[in-house]
Amino acid sequence: MRVTSQKALGVLSNAFMFRKPHHVQWLITRKCNYRCRGCSVWRDQQEDALSAADIKRGLDVLRQLGTIEIVLSGGNPLLRDDIDEILDYASRFFITTIYDNGSTAYKKVDILHKADFVAISLDSLNPEVHDYIKGVKGAWKQAMKSIETLSENGVNVAVSPTISQLNIHEIQKITEYFTERGIPVWYCLYSYDITDTEKSAFSIGRKKDEFEIQNKTDMAKLCDKLIQMRKQRKGILVTMRVLKALREYFSNGKRSWRCAALRNFFVINHKGEVSGCHLFSPVCSIFELPKKWNSSELEALRRKYAQCTKCTYLCYIFYSLHGNITENLELTKDQIGNAKWLLLQNRFHGSKLGRKTSKPSAGNGASE
């Protein structure tokens, strides 16, 4: 984790600014070395991503716009040959999270020290279930190796399971297993393309029935359990506000949020094209955005997005629920608290994986 006075000052000052895109997800590549069953990015890998120099220019634009937090994802961003240069620059100015499917992070320890969080995708404590989801034999061992290696070397690593029908009854166990060992957990929620993929900014795949959550009551109960767990332990990185909103949605279908795409957040694809969310067409390039940010065109799109109820992407729900000054300060405080807790875990305990109990066996992660 990199903390500089320039970065701290920028984060705090921008948190008080209104009508700024505080959160940005940059999908910097479509390259991926896994074959995840719930995703089709690996079927459509492209080579037309922006260069590191152009991405750095784009990051300067985000600084100008008042962005606080950036998430680097893909594809697998760690597959880029120039990821060291990109991450080094991003982490100077933003709260920076970078994703990995677990295959590569353990090879990039030195540069990953600069990230505020490294999120490793791990969908089960059962190696067979995880490998099935990822479509690659040995994926579980690779993910655990990355988690252990980063933790042992003081990198702020978090585990990021995607909640789906295949693992919904295991999420509590995953959360307990890693938070007890000083490893925080950040969740994704299975979702899929619901628009024309040829026009979308970044397609990820159509619905797969085996992943879609069938029993909404089970999901509401999981939210209840995570709310209670969050009161008792550190390391659950989803806020109470988000968990309560999800519980209400899965209990009675009510959305307590309005999508804040192009207001609180937006996405940038590998070509540098900006969209409110990846499901819709790009509106301009990142380099054109400053001139368009306050335009009537984007204001009309904001109103359109606010009426959209098509998706349940957890990151978009998260950013939509944390948009005004009070909510941004709440979120910033929460992030700082989690970062401090994780720093203490790394400093005083090192890696706890395997210390309290043995590593999970295939039976430990079986669905209930």
Average pLDDT over residues 9-36: 81
Assign 16 a pLDDT band (cuts: 50, 70, 90).
low
User: In Å, what is the CA distance from 134 to each residue of 49, 79, 211?
Assistant: 24, 17, 12
How many angstroms separate the Cα of 254 from the Cα of each of 220, 321, 341? 12, 14, 34
Report if residue 99 sits inside a domain.
Answer: yes
Residue 235: helix, strand or coil by DSSP?
coil
Q: What is the pLDDT of residues 254-263, one digit of tens each?
A: 999 999 999 9
Q: What is the pLDDT of residue 356?
A: 46
User: Quick one: tokens of 129?
Assistant: 């279930």
Nearest one of 268, 254, 265 to 305, comparing CA atoms: 265
For residue 364, being part of any structural domain is answered with no
pLDDT tens digits, 324-361? 656 666 666 665 566 555 555 665 444 455 544 445 65
Within 10 Å of residue 57's Cβ, how many Cβ atoms?
14
Distance of alpha carbon 49 from alpha carbon 28, whole angstroms: 7
Domains in the chain, number: 1
Q: Are 192 and 204 in contact (CB under 8 A)?
A: yes
Cβ(31)–Cβ(61) under 8 Å? no
Confirm whether 102 is domain-assigned: yes
In this predicted model, which residue has the larger pLDDT, 234 or 286?
Answer: 286
3-state class of 171 per DSSP? helix
Tens-place pLDDT, residues 179-202: 999 999 999 999 877 766 567 767
CA 124, 215, 161 angle in degrees (round to 5)?
A: 25
The answer to whether residue 119 is domain-embedded is yes
CATH number for the domain that contains residue 341: 3.20.20.70
User: For residue 290, what are the domain limits?
Assistant: 5-349
Residue 205 lies in a domain: yes
Would you say residue 366 lies in a domain? no
Q: What is the pLDDT of residue 12?
A: 63
Q: What are phi and psi of 135, to 5 degrees?
A: 75, 15
| C-alpha dihedral, 33 to 82 to 70 to 199, nearest 10° | -60
Of the chain, the percentage scoring pLDDT greater than 90 comes to 65
Q: pLDDT digit string (tens) for 48-95?
A: 899 999 999 999 999 999 998 999 998 899 999 999 999 999 999 998
Q: At what angle do helices 325-344 and 5-15 cross, to 10 degrees?
A: 150
pTM (two decimals): 0.87
Q: Is residue 363 part of a domain?
A: no
Instruction: Answer whether residue 22 shows pLDDT above 80.
Output: yes
Is 355 within the bounds of a domain?
Answer: no
